Amino acid sequence: MEFNFSTCEHITFWRKRSNGVNNNYTLHDITIPRVQEIKYQGINLEHTICWNSNTDYVTGKAAGKVGFI
């Protein structure tokens, strides 16, 4: 299996306000970048297991559709 390293990223989830564990992952000597937020199957997931980002995204989309009507 081949990976497209330009689209690879990783996220670490934690519930505390600290930065959590800071692990660096590499594959074939290429470091995979760490992100604070990721979109997975249409849901925005934040590293702090908070739904604010997803709620803002969904309400923004809904407001746009209501404005269109």
Task: Dump pLDDT digits (tens) for 14-46.
Answer: 776 666 667 788 888 888 888 888 888 888 888
Q: What percent of the chain has pLDDT over 90?
A: 0
pLDDT of residue 6: 83
* Mean per-residue pLDDT over the chain, rounded: 80
Q: What is the pTM of this model?
A: 0.57
Scanning the structure block, which residue is given the tokens 């594959």? Answer: 27
CA distances (Å), origin 30, targets 5, 6, 33, 39: 8, 10, 9, 22
Query: Total domain count for the chain?
Result: 1
Q: Which domain holds residue 15?
A: 1-69
pLDDT of residue 17: 64
pLDDT of residue 57: 80
Structure tokens at 13: 């989830």
Structure tokens at 43: 């849901």
